[in-house]
Structure 1
């Protein structure tokens, strides 16, 4: 009952039974006369160039006859050449595959004629998704991972996509590779960087913020030394976790002590750009830390400010003050000034050298316990400071805050200020002393009067060339070289006579052994220098050997014991050739000789009490034998209560030890265990 469809020239074969002869075969040519018999062309619509993966597309077949007329109800056969790229059902519904970047071909045929058409199209993704869409790098050099996914129409991933990557901001982020589903990017600099990925004509963009979090700050130079008044520069550098410099970082600068170091910055807020320099001024002696802070991180530079060197021809050390002369003879003093011993018409302590009032040009100067004396080139002597016992020699017991002329018009070639007395040698080699005489330290043959306010002639017929006033005793030389004599208190053996003295001085409970007139130091040696200390004495023989005698509780005799000795003893250790020697209250220092000359100073050695660093060896350990004062070559050295001073080969003054009154002259009250420059006023 249905009309069969055949091709126009098919043959129908009919087979039927026969009773006697077998099968009967009948072949009949057939001609199709149904819809589309006049088909001349076939076109697929719509025309496709691309289709989205995992999508469906309805295709139709347009059949026309030779005259261009559209034929309807023409049976069409649909086929695909690559089922992985796309499939098609009998009604022309195309299901696009999940493999992109490939070509699909759909073929439509007229069912009963050799007429066909093809639809060829590219399979593309519906979209590209880049993850993460945004990310952050906190350091230059950080590596981040980006992944691209091609999606089909069902928002599921598809296969076969070819990805091409690019950085739109190469100064911020750079690609490690530019192909593949997943790539690595590396941060190059602070800012916002964009990375794009392209596949199948589609693209997506991820944004990378390179913030460069500051993890460390440094200041260069990290340590520096400058003299007071000098200006120099510091540079702050901020770095991230990968040690890359953070460009554009800002800093807040500060000094731990503006009295030592002042920081000058570019603006009022205290900020300066990274890499730029900030001006730092050395304001005062000491050590300060200059800090630069950025992003909550801080770096520091340690700045040590030293004084401007102060050249002096000589220095002399008292209990808590120091004085010196420059090459022109101008006098300067510093430290304790309770009795006016600085001579600047005040009683205010000074941490820096102050000029002695009056403008006098002195030849030599000597600092005692609380007073100071000096003499002019012509011999006139002046003293200032404490005068309770007449130690200024001005005829009264009134303190003087400025240099006052010593009474008598005597011309001195040497003057020495001691504990509470003063002595001098005239140009005629006569010795005079004045001040307290409680223990016979004036050498006038008696201790009847406790004080003399004018110079008193030392008893005896000796002609002296040099004299040194100590705590409560005095020593002198008849020449340089010459014989040594001492007088005054001798209870600790400080007179060097082999005994403690032939007399008794004072009143109980302070009655002590003494000699009230010069007595010869035992041993009969010839000496070139002598120094009376607190309760010990030292001298240098004409063979440059140092010897000491007297009180030795702290090893100030240098013989590696703490036993007192009333006779000169040699120093422990290698023999030192000594140019000069100075005995302090309870320590001693020398300057050794340079081989071949006696005019150039060299190494200083000290020994004895060291509780304040007065030995200058970098420690506070007492020394029973000489230890070298490091790093400085000296011309002269002087000792006092608990500090020492000297001049180096450039005539620069240095001091070390106790400094509570400013007696080191470096602008501070901080003790120094090694030589520190005296500041220029």
Structure 2
């Protein structure tokens, strides 16, 4: 290895959202407990030239530990690395010599690490650094300090709208759809217009204009009929299903997760909706974290993304960068006659027209309902017990949480299996279940019934009853249960109404995100739970709300102009907002990778 008088690593761009868990005690006083999060002095270099990333807590590998990567920013090449963990330190050992003066980016994706209690790294960390010799360190520090000051001056368009927004009414979205992702929300108007709000760090709101929006932003020209269940990881990517049965993707595209082809052929960030080639006649789609499934009109299933645990459902444990048809039971033929799909963190679930349920992928918490913890790359039918037990039948709806599943049967009862450490199965315990168990009634009395819709969040669940009431159970640290507290529940509790003095009784649709929820009532759209990225859409950045709030509509609608270069790359977006216009310019390197995006007001 090359010898330096003094080896320094200088961080010159650090895109980090510190992960924290907000705990509320019984007397309502907020307390902060830091989870996995980098220290201020985040990276140092060891004598053997390995990189040491300092973290707050003792850590262990998460489900996406294999996705941590190091990239030479100058050559846009991924560097082969070995990864290890030593208590509260992540050790990255490059298998080649890092070059003096080169820029490098270390990407630590969500859920790649967790602490000893199972609390997961919820944010994505892009650590851009440079190794320099001691004699040039002062000059480099000065240059990059100026660069950071310039970046901090990028304005938020949300701050420019001073007029009071009006309340969104159901009339805007009659017969439309609602959507809750990991840290964003959305709805689709009857006319096909798509509105999104929440996190936009990687362009997942489809414009790359601001890092977040705390009220709905219209995505122009999408003509959408349905949005994905979660991010491609919720991890900063989005899909839109159009009325013609095609699918467009936008947002975060490291490794080629968006299904647009091999990563080498794509930029890391897709800043405007881009059609997925060869995918047509799609009826519904579902995405969460790093893999996605689509059901076609002929009832076949297609998937792409990370397949390390077999969650895509094809015969190769590798990244699938374009849609491929899902195999049948035991890998024989193809999966057929499917009417709905959903995906969890590392597993998938599908519902057939006959009411039987198929599962495949990761099984670390029994989410495949086969009595074991062994992963399976191909679908298998869900059984009610051991090998001699009957199959789960009579199912009319399915929903996947991170590592658990919910099903709604024709008789209005709800069943679940998989991870249950937060009570997300609603059976009154925290016992992990490897076969389906029935959700109990409120306060553990009787059984939950008369349910017409279900939705699984990260570690909590929602159910809509025929009388228009909403019930929730599981984790509640961010108020995602909507019952006016932040105390977790092992059995269903009723969701409060606006103001918290009564209960919801006129809800039509529900959807659960990572730790926030959205519902359509007879008169408005409402949200509750986590709001750290503005995902509640009420023009506020309070950290959470444990009772529903009303989603707001901007009083001024935005018009967009898109400018492309000769290589068909988006080079600028001009936004006309009332009497004010803004221009967002995009700069690419020689390989077509996005380097920067700057917003400024124009005359």
CA contact (8 A) 1:389 1:421 kept: no
Larger relative CO (CA 8 A, sep 6+): 1 or 2?
2
- Is this contact kept in 1: 2:326–2:335, CA < 8 A? no
Match of 1:498 in 2: 371
353, 357, 360: which one aligns with 2:222: 360
Structure 1 residue aligned with 2:278: 408
TM-score normalised per structure 2: 0.57
User: In the alignment, which residue of structure 2 is the partner of 1:611?
Assistant: 477
1:598-641 deviation per Cα after TM superposition (whole angstroms, max 9, x unaligned): xxxx1111110000000011110000101111232211111111
SS in 1 for 2:254: coil
| Equivalent in the alignment of 1:577 | 450
The structure richer in strand per residue is 1
Aligned counterpart, 2:419:
551
Unaligned stretches of 5+ residues in structure 1: 1-281, 286-305, 501-512, 595-601
The residue that corresponds to 2:551 in the other structure is 678
**In 2, distance between residues paired with 1:361 and 1:484?**
31
Offset, 1:649: 2.0
Per-residue deviation, residues 324-357 of structure 1 (Å, max 9, x unmatched): 2112221111111111111124352111111124
Of residues 513, 516, 527, the one that matches 2:377 is 516
Tell me which of 366, 384, 398 is aligned to 1:530: 398
User: In structure 2, which of residues 508, 511, 515 is the aligned counterpart of residue 638 of structure 1?
Assistant: 511
- Identify unmatched segments of 5+ residues in structure 2: 1-161, 329-333, 385-390, 497-502, 555-603
Aligned partner of residue 537 in structure 2, secondary structure? coil
Who wins on radius of gyration, i.e. which is larger?
A: 1
Which of 203, 206, 210 in structure 2 is aligned with 1:343?
206
Is the 1:339–1:347 contact (alpha carbons within 8 Å) kept by the matching residues of 2?
Answer: no
| Alpha-carbon offset, residue 431 of structure 1 | 0.3
Which residue is 2:339 aligned to? 465
- Give how far 1:283 is off: 5.5
- CA distance 1:409–1:534, shift in 2 (3 Å): closer
Residue 470 of structure 1 and its aligned partner are, at CA, apart by: 1.4
Could you tell me how far apart the structure 1 residues matched to 2:311 and 2:375 are?
Answer: 9
In 1, the alpha carbon distance for the partners of 2:403 and 2:180 equals 16
Q: Quote the offset at 1:308 in angstroms.
A: 4.8
User: Are positions 1:564 and 2:435 aligned together?
Assistant: no
**Cα contact 1:546–1:578 (8 A) shared by 2:** yes
Q: How far 1:498 moved relative to its partner?
A: 3.0
Q: Which has a greater percent of helix?
A: 2
**1:389/1:420 contact within 8 Å kept:** no
CA distance in structure 1 between the aligned counterparts of 2:420 and 2:242, rounded to whole angstroms: 36
Q: What is the CA-CA distance between 1:375 and the residue it aligns to?
A: 1.0
Partner in structure 1 of residue 291 of structure 2: 421
- Correspondence 1:364-383 to 2 at 5 A: 364-366=226-228, 367-368=230-231, 369=234, 370-383=236-249
Selected match of 2:533 from 661, 672, 675: 661
What's the Cα RMSD here?
A: 1.8
SS in 1 for 2:553: coil
Q: Check the 8 A contact 2:168/2:525 in 1, yes or no.
A: no
Q: Is the 8 A contact 2:177 2:225 kept in 1?
A: no
Deviation at 1:371, TM superposition (A): 1.6
Return closer, same or farther for 1:611/1:314 CA change in 2, 3 Å cut-off.
same
> 2:375 aligns to what SS in structure 1?
strand
CA deviation after TM superposition for structure 1 residue 378, in Å: 2.1
TM-score for the superposition, normalised by structure 1: 0.51
Q: 1:436 aligns with which of 283, 306, 313?
A: 306
**Displacement of 1:373:** 1.2
Report deviation, 1:410: 2.2
Which has the larger displacement, 627-636 or 548-557? 627-636
- The CA deviation at 1:409 is 3.5
Q: Find the aligned partners of 1:647 and 1:389 in 2 and give their Cα distance.
A: 36
Task: Say which SS state the counterpart of residue 441 (structure 1) adopts.
Answer: coil
How many residues end up aligned between the 2 structures? Answer: 356
CA contact (8 A) 1:538 1:582 kept: yes
Taking the aligned partners of 1:581 and 1:389, their CA distance within structure 2 comes to 32
Give the whole-Å Cα distance in 2 for the aligned partners of 1:371 and 1:343: 9
Matches within 5 A, 1:34-45: none
Distance in structure 2 (CA, Å) of the matches to 1:468 and 1:389: 22
Judging changes above 3 Å, is the alpha-carbon distance between structure 1 residues 672 and 582 closer, same or farther for their aligned structure 2 residues? same
**1:26 is matched with which residue?**
none
Q: 2:191 aligns with which of 317, 328, 336?
A: 328
